[in-house]
């Protein structure tokens, strides 16, 4: 099973048994449901027919508008919606030829999807500055080596902003990777599900590979992260407006028709509403991005203060600290690699994180992913957090931050 979902189930069971865990291992944005979404779901009940595999005209037009407002002019024919972006990413791997190049670490589902598609995965370490993309020089080396060994890497998956590192590749780096994709004839799959959760959009320029390499980039997105709708399963993909793009889209639609049929009708109605981005949706995007940013920065600060290295998070709701500078002290307490580091946090402090090796990272590295979106408390507290000027000072968030600080300190035997 997907290790993050497996861990989530384990944690649910331990919590049900009364264990007060601090669960930071699952990429879920728990936020109150917007009333408009519930309204549209109910209003979509009459959509009981299968309808077109790619989604109805209305939902595809709404998704096209969404992308067009993001400097990606898009027609409805370039869109396929699905029950989550996950099945779209899986279908892309089933349909696209060649092996897969992944940043290392990367979201833990890309690699298993590649295995189901019978593909080989080449993990390329991320640069120091950010995750979600491979380091360009190492990418070139990997391509050379892989081809020399008879493999055929053709698909480059990028995550912008990134899960697990919570960082966003800056435009010059994206540009360099697009240039490599052109030179080396790679197809880019750009997973942009966290795009609307860039913490400070004015300070953080965003460029999609689909702007720079429009004929070789497929973009995926969804509502799970930006609207806290993971359990509703709504995703969309945007295909290039060219013959190649049409071929890939047709292949994905074929796969969809055999694997899941279509996005449920009522969910299509929800997506029509949300992707048209009325004011309350835009406000929620902005408010949740602010909240995620404030809490992710606070956790980042704690990790750095504890002695870890950690790229400052700029999008989404993750931090990915590296405790390498503390290797000696940690070894004394039995934390010698990714797995034992996560185990120490769980056993000593009841803190659940996702160890880096589950994300394709070096098992020997002392790194993990912490999902900071799980600190917002119950629904009333989530609402409070969304509205707060300084959410990290809210008592319930401050208290969990203190617990996290103590947990990090306990790793090296300190008391804070």
Q: How far is the CB of 297 from its own copies (least distance, A)?
A: 25
Is 55 a binding residue for its own copies by CB under 8 A? The answer is no
- CA 99 vs CA 92, 93, 110: distances in Å: 12, 9, 12
Can you tell me which of 71, 73, 75, 116 binds its own copies, judged by CB under 8 A? 116
Choice between 9 and 68, CB closer to its own copies: 9
x/- binding map, residues 247-286, to its own copies, per CB under 8 A?
Answer: ---x--xxx-xxxxxxxxxxx-------------------
Q: Which of 354, 338, 350 is nearest to 403 (CA)?
A: 350
**Phi then psi for 370, rounded to 5 degrees?**
-120, 125
Strands 354-355 and 79-82, bridge-based pairing: unpaired
Choice between 5 and 399, CB closer to its own copies: 5
Is 53 a binding residue for its own copies by CB under 8 A? The answer is yes
Q: How far is the CB of 55 from its own copies (least distance, A)?
A: 11
Q: What number of other Cβ atoms are within 10 A of residue 351's Cβ?
A: 25
Is 49 a binding residue for its own copies by CB under 8 A? The answer is yes
Cα separation of the two ends of the chain: 36
x/- binding map, residues 196-235, to its own copies, per CB under 8 A?
Answer: --------------------------------xxxxxx--
Q: How far is the CB of 17 from its own copies (least distance, A)?
A: 15
Q: How far is the CB of 183 from its own copies (least distance, A)?
A: 31
Choice between 22 and 374, CB closer to its own copies: 374
Spatial separation of the C-alpha atoms in residues 28 and 52, rounded to whole Å: 30
Is 48 a binding residue for its own copies by CB under 8 A? The answer is yes
Contact between 197 and 257 (Cβ < 8 Å): no
Q: Is 162 helix (H, G, I), strand (E, B) or coil?
A: coil
Q: Which stretch binds its own copies (CB under 8 A): 72-80, 84-92, 209-217, 388-396?
A: 84-92
Name all contacts of 216-219 with Cβ < 8 Å and 24+ positions apart.
216/181, 216/182, 216/186, 216/187, 216/188, 216/240, 216/244, 217/178, 217/187, 217/188, 217/189, 217/190, 218/92, 218/187, 218/188, 218/189, 218/190, 218/245, 218/248, 219/67, 219/72, 219/190, 219/192
Strands 368-371 and 318-319, bridge-based pairing: antiparallel
Is 15 a binding residue for its own copies by CB under 8 A? The answer is no
Can you tell me which of 55, 84, 240, 377 binds its own copies, judged by CB under 8 A? 84
Choice between 52 and 125, CB closer to its own copies: 52
**Angle, in degrees to the nearest 10, between helices 265-275 and 35-43:** 140
User: Which parts of 95-114 interact with its own copies (CB under 8 A)?
Assistant: 109, 112-113
Is 83 a binding residue for its own copies by CB under 8 A? The answer is yes
Contact between 274 and 227 (Cβ < 8 Å): yes
Choice between 2 and 68, CB closer to its own copies: 2
Can you tell me which of 14, 21, 52, 287 binds its own copies, judged by CB under 8 A? 52
Spatial separation of the C-alpha atoms in residues 390 and 347, rounded to whole Å: 31
Site of interaction with its own copies (CB under 8 A): 1-2, 5-6, 8-9, 12, 26, 28, 30, 33, 37-38, 41-42, 45-53, 83-84, 86-87, 90, 94, 109, 112-113, 116, 118, 228-233, 250, 253-255, 257-267
């Amino acid at each position: 099973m997907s290790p993050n979902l497996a861990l989530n189930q384990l944690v649910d069971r331990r919590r049900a048994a009364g264990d007060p865990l601090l669960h930071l291992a699952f990429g879920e944005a728990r936020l109150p449901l917007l009333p408009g979404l519930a309204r549209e779901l109910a209003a979509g009940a009459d959509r009981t027919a299968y309808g077109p595999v790619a989604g109805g005209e209305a939902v595809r037009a709404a998704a096209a508008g969404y992308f067009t407002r993001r400097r990606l002019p898009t027609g409805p024919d370039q869109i396929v919606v699905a029950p989550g972006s996950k099945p779209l990413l899986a279908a892309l791997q089933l349909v696209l030829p060649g092996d897969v190049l992944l940043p290392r670490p990367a979201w833990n589902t890309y690699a298993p999807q590649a295995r189901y598609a019978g593909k080989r995965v080449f993990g390329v370490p991320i640069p120091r500055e950010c995750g979600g993309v491979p380091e360009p020089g190492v990418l070139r080396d990997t391509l050379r080596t892989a081809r020399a060994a008879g493999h055929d890497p053709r698909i480059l998956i990028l995550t912008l902003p990134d899960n697990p590192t919570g960082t966003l590749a800056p435009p010059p780096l994206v540009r360099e990777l697009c240039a490599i994709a052109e030179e080396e004839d790679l197809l880019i799959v750009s997973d942009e599900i966290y795009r609307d959760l860039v913490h400070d959009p004015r300070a953080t320029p965003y460029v999609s590979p689909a702007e720079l390499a429009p004929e070789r980039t497929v973009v995926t997105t969804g509502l799970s992260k930006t609207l806290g709708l993971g359990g509703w399963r709504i995703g969309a993909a945007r295909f290039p407006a060219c013959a190649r793009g049409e071929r890939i889209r047709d292949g994905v639609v074929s796969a969809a028709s055999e694997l899941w049929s279509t996005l449920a009708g009522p969910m299509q109605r929800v997506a029509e509403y949300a992707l048209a981005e009325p004011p309350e949706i835009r406000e929620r995007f902005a408010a949740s991005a602010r909240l995620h940013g404030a809490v992710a920065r606070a956790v980042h600060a704690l990790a750095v203060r504890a002695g870890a290295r950690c790229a400052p998070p700029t999008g989404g709701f993750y931090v990915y600290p590296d405790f390498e500078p503390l290797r000696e002290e940690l070894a004394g307490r039995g934390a010698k690699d990714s797995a034992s580091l996560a185990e120490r946090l769980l056993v000593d402090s009841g803190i659940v994180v996702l160890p880096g090796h589950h994300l394709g990272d070096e098992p020997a590295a002392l790194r993990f992913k912490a999902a900071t979106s799980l600190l917002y408390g119950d629904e009333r507290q989530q609402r409070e957090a969304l509205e707060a000027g300084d959410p990290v000072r809210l008592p319930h968030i401050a208290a969990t931050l203190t617990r996290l600080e103590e947990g990090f300190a306990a790793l090296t035997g300190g008391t804070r």
